[in-house]
Amino acid sequence: MSESSSNSHSGIIGGRDPLEYDPDTPITLFLFQAVFIIALCQIIHIPLGYMRQPRVIAEVIAGILLGPTALGRIPNFTSTCFPDESVPMLTLVGNIGIIFFLFLVGLEVDVKFLKKNIYIALTVGLTNMAVPFGFGCLIAYGLFNEYSQDHSEGLKFTTFMVFIAVAMCITAFPVLARILTELRLLKERVGTIVLASGITNDVVGWMLLALSVTLANAGSGIDTLYILLVTIGWALFVIFPVRWVLVKFILRRDLKSGVLSRAGMLMIILMMFVSSFFTDIIGVHSIFGAFMVGLIVPREHGFVVDLTHKIEDIVQIIFIPIYFAIAGFNVDFDELNRGIDWGYVVAIIVVSMSTKIIGGFIGAKACGYYWRESLTVGVLMSCKGIVEIVVLNVGLNAGIISRKLFSMFVLMTLVCTFLTTPLTLLSYPVSYREKVQKYLKGDIDWEGHELERTTSRASDSTMLHKDFKFNKIIYNVEDSEEILALLNFTELLYSSGNELPMLNVIFLKELTERTADLIDASHIPEDTRNASVLQILKKLFEYNSVPYVGDLVYYVLQYKTITYLETSDNADDFLIYAIHSDQVDSKLISELKERIIVPHFGLLLRSNSEKITSLSIVLHRGVDIFDTKNVLIVYLAKLLVNSGQIRKVTVVGDDEIDEDQLCSLSQSLRASAGVTDNDKLEFVIETAEEPCGFVIGPLNLDTLADDGAMFKENNLDALLINH
C-alpha cells in the first residue's frame, strides 16, 4: 500500500491534508465544499432578507463570489478549495438537484387553474413573451456579430437567436409566486392574472428552450425534426398513458386513503428519473423530462403539497446552492473589460425589463385592468430568478453562449430580480390597492368619495330589538390548542334560538420558505381543506349543526394582523380576531388603527378556556344605553344570554345610567334567556371598574394595552367591539 493511500485512511492524525483531493475518498473534500457553499449562501441572505429579496439572489451572489470574480482572485483559493478534480462531483450533485428542482416547478403548475383563467393566461402570457422575444431577436443580432470570435464552432445564428430571445422573455414562476404571497397580492386581481400568465410563460418558455437546445445539438435539419417529433411524442406519452396508469393503478390506494405512501412516492421519483434519462438521450436535456412528470402528479388530497414537503428541503438547502456555485465558477466580470461590453450589459438589462413590462401592460389592459394594475403585472412578469440561471447554464453547456455572454446575462438576472419587489411596491402601493378594493365593492367612487348607503335608524324604543343581518361571522385559529376556546364561544353564539349565518373559520399559518407552502397558498383551494385543525372543526361543527366553512390563509410574519383583516370581503361581515391577552402590543394597536375597515369588528382577548357562565356588559361611557355605539354590544349580549348557559349578567357603566333604560335592558335580556325569576338569571347593576366572567364591551385602541393587561391579570376573556 502506498504512503498516500495509507494517509488517506489514517486521517489528519496520520498527516493527511483534508483539503487535498483524493479519488479514493472524494467525500471528504466534498463535505467541506458543501458546508462552505451553504454557509456562504445563508450569510449573504441575512441582509438581503431584510430587504425583502428572494433567496435566489443570495445564492447567485454566493456562486459569483466563489468564482474568479472575487474569492478566485485569492492565490491558491480555487486550487485548494475547489480543485479541478473535484468539480465533476459538484457538477453531478448540482445537476441532480436541478432535475429535482424542475420536477418541483412542474408540481407548481396547476392545469385546472390555467383552464379556469385561460383567456387572461393566453392574452397576458403570450403578449408578455412576444414583445421581449421580438426585441431579443434584434439584440441577438448585435451580440452574435460583436462576439463572433467567442462562439463555438458551427453555431448557427438561428440557434443563438432563439436562445437569446428565450433568455429575454422567460419569467421565474417559483420566485414570482413567493413575491406575490409576501406582498399579499395572491388573492387579488393582480395576483390572479400574474399567476395564470406566469404558468403560460413557464410552459411556453421551457418548450422554446427545448427547441433551442435541439437546434444546438442536432447535426442537420432532419435531425432537428426527428428530435422535436420524439420529444413531442414522449410528452404526449407521459401526459396521457403514463398519467392514466399512475392514477388508476399505481396511486389508486393512495387516492382512496388520501395519504401518499412510500411506494407511491417511489414510483413517482422513478418516473422522474426515467423521463429525465429519456429526454437527455434524445438530445434535449434531462430537466425537461423531470418537468413533464411534475405536471402529471395528481393534485387530489394534497398529494402535490405532501410530495413537495418530502423532497424540497434537501433540494433547496443542499442541491440548489451547489448548482449555483458551479454556475458562479463560469462568471468572470474581468472578461467584461471593454466599454462595448458594459454597453451591451446595460442594453440587455433595459431591453429585458422594459419589454417585459410593456408586454405585460398591453396584455393586462386588453383584459380590462386599470393602468396601474396593468403596469404592476408587467413589473412582476419581469422577474427572472433561478429559472433564468438554469436557462443560461443549459445554453452555456450546449455551447450556445460563451462565458462572457453568460456573465452578462447573470448580471441582468440579478438586477431584474432585485428590482421586482421595490418596483411593484412603487407601482401598486397599499393605498391604491385599498382604493381599488373599495371601488369594486361599491363603497366609494373612483375619486375616493364615499357613496351613501341606505340605512334605517331605529328609535330608542326599538333599539333593544335591533337585529344585525351578518353576511358571515369570521373567526381565526392558529393551532389545535385554540379549538376549546372557539368551541366555548360558538356554543354560546350558535345556540338553538339564534339564527346566525355561516361561521367562517380562518386557519392562519405562517408562510415559510418552503415551496409546499407556496403551492398551498397560491391556487389549490381543495387542498386547504386538509389542514388537520380545519378537519377537526368540520366534524365538530357538523355534529353540533353549526353552519361552517374553513379556509387556510398564509401570512408573512410582519403582516399577520393585516392579512387576517383582509379576509373580510363584505361590509356585512362580523370579523372576530381572537388572540391571547399577552399578544397586545404597540404593533398590533398601530395596525388596528390603520387597517380596521370592516364596519363590524370584534377583538377577542383570550385568557382562559373555562366554560362561560357569567357575562359582563361594558357600555360606552357618557352615552345612553340605547345609543348607536352600544347597539351591537347589546345585540351580541342577547345572543350569548339566549344560550341558556349564562347565569349572571353584570352591567358595567357609569353612575348615571338611566334606571328606566336599565330596566328595559334587564327585561330584554331576561326575555332572551327565557326566564322571569332571579333564581335562574341574576341581574346585577354594578359601577365597579373591574368586570367578571366573559366581558363584552367597546374597543378603545388608546387604552387597549392597559385593558389587555387587566384582562390577563384577572384571567378574563373579553370581546371588544368596534362599531
Residue-wise pLDDT for 291-333, tens only, equals 999 999 988 777 888 889 889 999 999 999 999 888 888 899 9
Q: What is the pLDDT of residue 459?
A: 43
Q: What is the pLDDT of residue 66?
A: 92
| Higher-pLDDT residue of 629, 324 | 324
Lowest mean pLDDT among 430-434, 513-517, 650-654: 650-654
Lowest mean pLDDT among 6-15, 91-100, 252-261, 454-463: 454-463
With contact defined as beta carbons under 8 Å apart, do 418 and 57 qualify? yes
- The answer on pLDDT for 426 being more than 90 is yes
Q: What is the pLDDT of residue 221?
A: 72
Contacts 24+ apart (CB under 8 A), 554-561: 554/181, 554/509, 554/510, 554/511, 554/517, 554/520, 554/521, 555/508, 555/509, 555/510, 555/511, 556/181, 556/182, 556/184, 556/510, 556/511, 557/510, 559/184, 560/508, 560/510, 561/588, 561/591, 561/592, 561/595
Place 713 in a pLDDT band, splitting at 50, 70 and 90: confident
**What value does the mean pLDDT take over residues 563-578?**
87
Place 642 in a pLDDT band, splitting at 50, 70 and 90: confident
Residue-wise pLDDT for 180-189, tens only, equals 878 878 778 8
**Inter-axis angle of helices 515-522 and 173-182, nearest 10:** 70
Q: What is the pLDDT of residue 233?
A: 95
- The answer on pLDDT for 5 being more than 60 is no
| Higher-pLDDT residue of 326, 346 | 346
Class of the CATH-defined domain 102-312+341-431: mainly alpha
Please give the grid coordinates belonging to residue 258: 388520501
Q: What is the pLDDT of residue 6?
A: 52
- The answer on pLDDT for 433 being more than 50 is yes
3-state secondary structure of 555: strand
- The answer on pLDDT for 118 being more than 80 is yes
Place 526 in a pLDDT band, splitting at 50, 70 and 90: very low
Q: Please, where are the H alpha helices in 51-170?
A: 55-66, 77-81, 87-108, 111-116, 118-146, 157-169
**Does domain 461-722 sit in CATH 3.40.50?**
yes
- The answer on pLDDT for 705 being more than 80 is yes
**What value does the mean pLDDT take over residues 366-390?**
91
Residue-wise pLDDT for 58-116, tens only, equals 998 999 999 898 899 999 999 999 998 999 999 999 999 999 999 998 998 888 888 88
**What value does the mean pLDDT take over residues 466-478?**
82
Q: What is the pLDDT of residue 686?
A: 55
Q: What is the pLDDT of residue 1?
A: 47
Query: Could you state, in order of their start, the residue ranges of all structural domains in the chain?
Result: 102-312+341-431, 461-722
Question: Mean pLDDT for the chain?
Answer: 83
CA separation (Å) from 466 to 107, 604, 627?
Answer: 52, 23, 12
Separation CA 334–CA 407 (nearest Å)? 10
pTM, two decimals, is 0.80
Q: What is the pLDDT of residue 290?
A: 95
- Residue 319 DSSP symbol: I
Q: What is the pLDDT of residue 528?
A: 45
- The answer on pLDDT for 450 being more than 90 is no
**What value does the mean pLDDT take over residues 422-441?**
82
Return the percent helix, strand and coil in the chain, to nearest 5: 65, 10, 30
- The answer on pLDDT for 456 being more than 60 is no
Separation CA 42–CA 38 (nearest Å)? 6
Please give the grid coordinates belonging to residue 326: 458551479
Separation CA 414–CA 601 (nearest Å)? 44
> What stretches of 611-675 adopt beta strand conformation (E)?
614-618, 648-652
- The answer on pLDDT for 556 being more than 60 is yes
- The answer on pLDDT for 148 being more than 90 is no
Q: What is the pLDDT of residue 362?
A: 96
DSSP 354-408: HHHHHHHHHHHHHTT--HHHHHHHHHHHT--THHHHHHHHHHHHTTSS-HHHHHH
Equal fold, 102-312+341-431 vs 461-722: no
Place 22 in a pLDDT band, splitting at 50, 70 and 90: confident
Place 448 in a pLDDT band, splitting at 50, 70 and 90: low
Separation CA 6–CA 299 (nearest Å)? 54
| Higher-pLDDT residue of 643, 351 | 351
Residue-wise pLDDT for 505-523, tens only, equals 999 888 877 777 777 776 5
Lowest mean pLDDT among 125-139, 469-483, 507-521, 659-673: 659-673
Best-predicted range by mean pLDDT among 164-173, 221-230, 498-507, 602-611? Answer: 164-173
Place 454 in a pLDDT band, splitting at 50, 70 and 90: very low
| Cα dihedral across residues 13, 18, 22, 28: positive or negative | positive
Please give the grid coordinates belonging to residue 44: 449573504
Q: What is the pLDDT of residue 241?
A: 95
Place 529 in a pLDDT band, splitting at 50, 70 and 90: very low
Question: Around Cβ 722, how many Cβ atoms within 10 Å?
Answer: 17
- The answer on pLDDT for 680 being more than 60 is no
Q: What is the pLDDT of residue 373?
A: 92
- The answer on pLDDT for 417 being more than 70 is yes
